[in-house]
Structure 1
C-alpha cells in the first residue's frame, strides 16, 4: 500500500481507541496530525507515543464549541471524523447525547471544513444503521429498515449530512460502516465487560442476552488498513464501505475463548432474552465484498482479535480501573 505524503490530517476523537491507533499510523507515514478531543472518553495515555513526534499537535476542545473548532481546523487538508458518543446500550437514558455528540457535532465539523476550504472527510459510521436487516450478510445498498437505536439513527443522520455537503459543496467523502472493532486500547464492549467481571469474580459471569447473539468483529489494525486502502483506491464523490470480517461468532464463542485463555471455568447466567438491551441487534453480519474488491482483506480472524484485546486488558489493568 502506497503512502499518502505531505498531508495534514485533522482527527476528531483522536485520543480514543480507533483514533489514537489511526494517529500513530498517520505519523508513521510521515504526515502531520492535529487531534481535537474533549476527553469525555478519550485517554491521554493513548497519545504518549504521538506526543513525542514533532508532527503531532493536540488540542483539547469540544465539537459543540464552533469557535474553537473553526480555529483548530485551520490549515488542515483532510478530516477524519471519529469523535462520537458510542454508548449504544444506554442511549435511551440520555436521548439528547446522540443528537448532540453525533449529529450536531458532524454538522459542526462540516461547517468548519466549508469555512476553511477543506473538502475531504472520512467518517466512522456503523453497521447499526442497518437496524435488524432482513438481508444477511448486509451489503451497503441494502434497504434501510426501522432504526432500532438512537446511536444508529444519529450516525445515519450524520451520513446524510456528509452526502449532502458532498453534493452541495463539492466535498469528497469516505463513509465507513464498522462492525465492532477490537484490539489494543479497546475501552468498552463485551471483551472489556467480560474480563472485568472475571477479574472481580472468576467463578461467575453474567451475560446480557441469551448468548446466541451473532456478531461480527474486526481487529483495529485491519480496520485502519481498510480505511487507507479505500482512500487510496476509491475516488467517487461519496465512497461508502462496510468494514468487517467474512465471519461472525456467537457471544458464547467469545465467552469460551476468553475463559479458556484465562484458564477459568465460571458459572454463566443469562438475562434479557435474545437482546441484551434496547437496540441490541441479535445478528450483525456485513457484506464486505466492496472493500475486498479493492484488494484488502483482514490479517486477523475474530478469535485472534478477541485474544489480542484480552491480552491488552490483562497487561494494562489501569484501563479497566480508569473506567
Structure 2
C-alpha cells in the first residue's frame, strides 16, 4: 500500500506511538486522529491533523469517525498496560471489545485495511530472540492476553472478510511525550528524591528498547513493502537487535539528569505481576524487507531519556 494522498485514521493518536505515526503520516496524507485522552496527551497531537475527542467504545462516536472515505486505519488505541492493572477484566474487555467493534464498523462501511499495534507480551516468556512464528503464544499478563485475543479477531477479518491486516508486535517503545514506563518513572522518582532511586525487581530485567521515531518508520516500511502473496495477515516484530537492563536504564537516566543516586531494589526477578524479565525479538523478517534500526537499545533509551529530561 502506498502512503501518499490517502485518508487515514489514527486511533489513540495522542499516545506515544499514535502521535508519532500521525506526525509522520500527515506529511503526505490527510490524517484524522481520534483519542479520548484517557491515556494520551493532547499537546502530542500534530497541529496539521484533524482531531476528534471520542471514546471508540461508544458506538455513536465510532460511527462518526469510521466512514467510507477512509483508505486505512492505524489502530493504536488501548487501555494501556499501566492503566487499570488492578482491574484486569475491564482492561481485557475494553481492548478486545473496542477492536471488535472497530472492525465491524470498518466492514460495514467498506474500509478493509488496518495496521494494529500489538505487543511482544503475546509471546510470554519465550526463547530469545523470539520469531513471529513462535508457538504457542502463552502471555502471562492480562495486557498480553488482550493483545493476543485482538490479533485473533483481526485474523478472522483478514481471512473471512477480505481485510488486509498489518500486525506489529512491539518491543518496548520509548520516546518523548510519554508518561508511563521505566524511563519516565525513574525521572519522576529522581526529581522527587535525587539521592535514592527505588527500582522494581532486582534491576537485572533485560529487554529490547526501540525509539518511537524508528518504530513509526518501520511501520510505514512494512505497509509499503510487505508482499501480498504471503496472505492477508502480515505479522512483524519491531525492535532492536540488542537489549538494555533496568540497571543500565537507571545509569543512563541518572547521567542525563546529572545525578549519582543510591539504588534500592524491591526484590524478585520481575518488576510487577505479569512482567517478562527477559525479552528480545527476532527482527530477521523485518530485515528481509530491507529495514533495520539505526539505534541500538541503549541509544534508544539514551535519546528518550534526553528528550524527556529536557521537556
1:192 equivalent to 2:184? Answer: yes
Q: Contact 2:209–2:243 (CA<8 Å) still a contact in 1?
A: yes
Distance 1:90 1:105, change over 3 A: closer
The CA distance in 1 between the partners of 2:29 and 2:152, in whole Å, is 29
Q: Which moved more, 1:121-130 or 1:63-72?
A: 63-72
1:113 equivalent to 2:112? Answer: no
Q: Which moved more, 1:298-307 or 1:155-164?
A: 298-307
Q: CA deviation at 1:115?
A: 0.8
> What secondary structure sits across from 2:278 in the alignment?
coil
Select which of 182, 194, 217 maps to 2:174.
182
Mapping 1:119-130, distance limit 5 Å = 119-130=112-123
Q: Contact 1:119–1:172 (CA<8 Å) still a contact in 2?
A: yes
Select which of 210, 228, 243 maps to 1:218.
210
Q: Contact 1:36–1:72 (CA<8 Å) still a contact in 2?
A: yes
Q: CA deviation at 1:257?
A: 1.7
Select which of 234, 256, 259 maps to 1:261.
256
Matched residue, 1:6: 5
Q: Contact 2:207–2:245 (CA<8 Å) still a contact in 1?
A: yes
Deviation readout 1:207-231 (Å, 9 max, x if unpaired): 0000011111101111111101100
Q: Contact 1:179–1:216 (CA<8 Å) still a contact in 2?
A: yes
The CA distance in 2 between the partners of 1:219 and 1:104, in whole Å, is 29
Deviation readout 1:118-152 (Å, 9 max, x if unpaired): 0000000000000111x211000111253210000
Deviation readout 1:77-116 (Å, 9 max, x if unpaired): 100000001225862x111232233110100110110011
> What secondary structure sits across from 1:128 in the alignment?
helix
Q: CA deviation at 1:72?
A: 1.2
Distance 1:259 1:149, change over 3 A: same
Distance 1:145 1:237, change over 3 A: closer
> What secondary structure sits across from 2:51 in the alignment?
strand
Deviation readout 1:175-216 (Å, 9 max, x if unpaired): 000011011222210000011111111000000000011111
Q: TM-score scaled by structure 2?
A: 0.95
The CA distance in 2 between the partners of 1:222 and 1:114, in whole Å, is 31
The CA distance in 1 between the partners of 2:137 and 2:15, in whole Å, is 30
Q: Which structure 1 residue ranges, 5 or more long, are not aligned?
A: 317-323
* Stretches of 4+ aligned residues off by more than 3 angstroms: none
1:83 equivalent to 2:77? Answer: yes
The CA distance in 2 between the partners of 1:213 and 1:89, in whole Å, is 21
The CA distance in 2 between the partners of 1:102 and 1:89, in whole Å, is 12
Q: Which structure 2 residue ranges, 5 or more long, are not aligned?
A: none
Select which of 139, 145, 155 maps to 1:147.
139
1:27 equivalent to 2:26? Answer: yes
The CA distance in 2 between the partners of 1:90 and 1:58, in whole Å, is 25
Matched residue, 1:319: none
Q: CA deviation at 1:71?
A: 2.2
Matched residue, 2:40: 42
Q: Contact 1:198–1:204 (CA<8 Å) still a contact in 2?
A: yes
Q: Contact 1:129–1:144 (CA<8 Å) still a contact in 2?
A: no
